[in-house]
Each structure stands twice: as C-alpha cells, then as structure tokens.
Amino acid sequence: MKTAIFFLSILAALPLAMVLRSDRRFVLMAWIVVGTLPFVSTLVRIRLSLLGWEEWTGHTYGIEISIVDIVILALLLADQRRQKIPFPHFPFLLFGAALSASMLQAPEPIAASFSVVQYLRFYFICYAVTLCATDDSVLLNVMRGMALGLLFEAGVVFYQRFGLGIAQPAGTFIHQNSLGLFSHFVTYPQFALLLAGETGVMTVLAPIAGALIAVLTASRGASAFTGLGFIATLLLSFTDRVTPRKMMAAGAGVLALLVLVPLAVSSWQKRIEAGENVNDESVYDERAALNMSASLMLDDYPLGVGANNYSYVARNEGYAVRGGIVAVESNLGTNVHNVFWLMAAETGYPGIAAYMVLLAWPLVAAVSAGWRARRTPRGMLSLGFAVSLAAVYGHSTLEWILLSYEGQVMLSLVFGLVFAQAYRVAEALKQTDPARQQVAEVRVTSKQV
C-alpha cells in the first residue's frame, strides 16, 4: 500500500499539469509556492516515503518525495514556454558517479542509497528550474516566493525573540543556524536588484528581513556572513558606476549598523545569560573535534565510508571519541559541522573533488554572466546570486545543513536560476556583439540566396 501511494503521488503530477496548463496564472502562482515552501516545510511537511529510517543518525532518512518535487514536475510538464537550452550535466553526473560509488564502501549501503536518491531529486529540480526560469516571469515569481518565505521567518523570529523571550529564535526551523544560512539564498539577489534600480516591495523588504534574522538569531556565523554579503554586493555594484541610489544604500547600511550592532550585542548577551549553546572553545571546541574525527576517518578510508554513513562509522568505530568528542550518545552520532569535511569523510578524495566542481560550476557561471552584463539589472542579479553562493559555501564550513532536505531544495532552486540567467545573458550579448550580428546577417543572406 505504501509503495502504491508513493508512485500514485508521482503520477498525480499529470492531472496537476493539466490544471496548471489551463491558465498561465496558475503556473506563475505555483512558482511562488515553490519558492516559499522550503521556508515553511517544517510546518507543511508533506513527504511520502518509499523507505524510511526515522532512527537513522545521518543527514538523510529515507527514499522520499515531497510536494515540491510533485509540483515542479507538474510545472515542467505544464509550462509550454520553457526553452530547450544547454544544461551543464557534466558536474552533476561527475558528483553523482562519486556519490553512487561510495555505496560500495558503506557499512550501511541502504542508508547511502538515501543520499543518492535525494541527489537525483536535487539534479531534477536544477534541470527543471533552469529550463523554466529562462522566462523572466518564472524567475521573478520564484524569487518572490523565497522572499515571502524569508519575510514570514523574520516575523516569526521577531515574535519568538520579543514576544516569547527566546534567546536564539529559529523561526520554523529546528535550529537558528539553518535559518541564518538559508537567508543568504534570498538576501543578496534582492539587494542586488535594489541597487540596480528595482523598487518592488519584496526587493526592499527582503534585505531588511535578512539583516534582522542574522541579528535576532544571535548566530555568529550568520551575522558575519550576512555583513560580508551586503558589503560584497554593494562593492560589486560600484564596478559599474556610483549612483545616488547606491550611495543611499551605503548610507542606510551605516545607519543600520548603528541600530543593529547594539541589538546584536543584546541578543548575544541574552544568549549567554540563557546558557544556550555557548561553550568555552578554549576548553572544548566541538567543531574542531568533529573535523578531527572526519580527518582521521579520511586517512583510514581515502575512498570514503559511504554517503550518509559518517555518523554511523564515527560512533561505532570510535572515530568520534578519537577525534575528541565528549562521549555522550547525542554527541557521538553528530554530523561534522562542516559540509566539506563531511563530504570528504563520506565520499573520499574523489567525492570531495567532484563536489567542489559541482559547487564551483554555478558560482563561476554567475560571476561570469554578472560581470559581463554588470551594467544591467540582469547582470547585477547574477552577481547577487554569486554573492549568495559564496556566502552559503563559506557558512557551510561551520554547518552541514546544506545536505538537509531544505538545504538541497534551496540550493537546487538557486542553481537553476543561475544557469537560466547565464543563458539569458549569453543570448543578450550575442545580440549586441557587432561581430556576431554580422555573422548572423551573412548566414541569413546565404539562406535567402
């Protein structure tokens, strides 16, 4: 029965696609929902599992599909405006091969298969969004949805902090660090559009929401990378030209510092007083101990211990204790708070190399497209996405949550938007390049003859 429901849910994308195709407005509204859902997935946890291990201590708990997967499949089938454009399959296939190969080393290969299936969902979402988001209305609606999700989380955090007195509010997420990292995906692209001259409500409010979340969650990593992200986006916008709007943004940033720094200090003091997750790192640095555990594991298993198997091996083969983790059951099964060390330990040297290629590919595409078209809003948007990815990658040296369900969905959405924008920039530059125009005219003339 469980299996039948799982596959029937996938087939439900067909009638949903027919409904969406009946009215273009339904498609655009659905893309807003797609952008919002990762932020509220803990409230709307609609997932169907073909196989699940709820007690598993890794980062992926089963072979699942979610409402996001079904809706995106329906949108791909329904959207008749999507274009067949080049998609960079190589980095996805390269990492997919490394991830699949790690199953051969895994003491629990079924658990490793959970990660492989989740990665296939990630790959599919990237591909679907890339094809559909070449339509600017789709791109903007996904961004609106993500901005709505961020604004909702900012409201929840504000209430938790000042209404309930929670020292480290996490919004609807399990942990405040998750919310802090995920806010990077939304904040800088919207800020880049604001600097480029856009004045939409979401464009103005999303950067404010991102700053408030960084401050009120009292997360040191989120606060540091959020500040750096704003500065990097502003400086990149100056490479085009200095405008009154950009100077106003710089001035507003200075004023915001005067307001937010005392608020950040207050939040941090409240966190210390509440004793929440505050350790004396000179005595016990858990992150360093976890990294050491992963390093020892990689030394012994250069091809990795298998995707989604780090916590199992760390606890059962003693690597957690050897790395310096306090021998408490809840600590022994903890994932490394560094996505790169976690990936290296699980997939070995081939896997971490392939993972770095996968992450670098869209970052390079965003920087290249953004720099070439930096005098346009589309170019600034690409640079904003580049800052988002850089901030997420940097923050992920302190967290593993990029491998969580929400992290995978958000990363796949942004990858798809980046690739779609890179394609649009390349096509636009072809139209404005005189040499290319001349070649095109010659070809047309030849055909006419």
Q: Is the pLDDT of residue 275 over 60?
A: no
Task: Read off the pLDDT of residues 5-23 as tens digits, 9 standing for 90 and up.
Answer: 777 778 888 899 999 988 8
**Mean local confidence (pLDDT), 206-220:** 86
96-100, 242-246, 344-348, 388-392: least confidently modelled range: 242-246
Q: Is the pLDDT of residue 324 over 50?
A: yes
24-28, 81-85, 111-115: least confidently modelled range: 81-85
CA distance 385 to 144: 15
Alpha-helix runs per DSSP H in 46-170:
67-78, 89-101, 109-132, 136-158
Q: Which residue has the higher pLDDT, 164 or 99?
A: 99
The confidence band for 261, taking pLDDT boundaries of 50, 70 and 90, is low
Domain boundaries, the chain: 87-281+332-435
pTM of the full structure = 0.88
Matching residue, tokens 């030209």: 241
> Residue 251: its pLDDT value, please?
65
Percent of the chain with pLDDT over 70: 84
| 210 touches 216 (CB < 8 A) | no
Q: Is the pLDDT of residue 109 over 90?
A: yes
| Chain-centre distance for alpha carbon 241 | 30
**Mean local confidence (pLDDT), 136-152:** 95
**Mean local confidence (pLDDT), 200-228:** 86
The confidence band for 238, taking pLDDT boundaries of 50, 70 and 90, is confident
| Residue 52 burial (C-beta neighbours within 10 Å; 0-12, 13-18, 19+) | middle
**Mean local confidence (pLDDT), 235-241:** 82
What DSSP assignment string belongs to 389-433?
HHHHHHHTTS--GGGSHHHHHHHHHHHHHHHHHHHHHHHHHHHH-
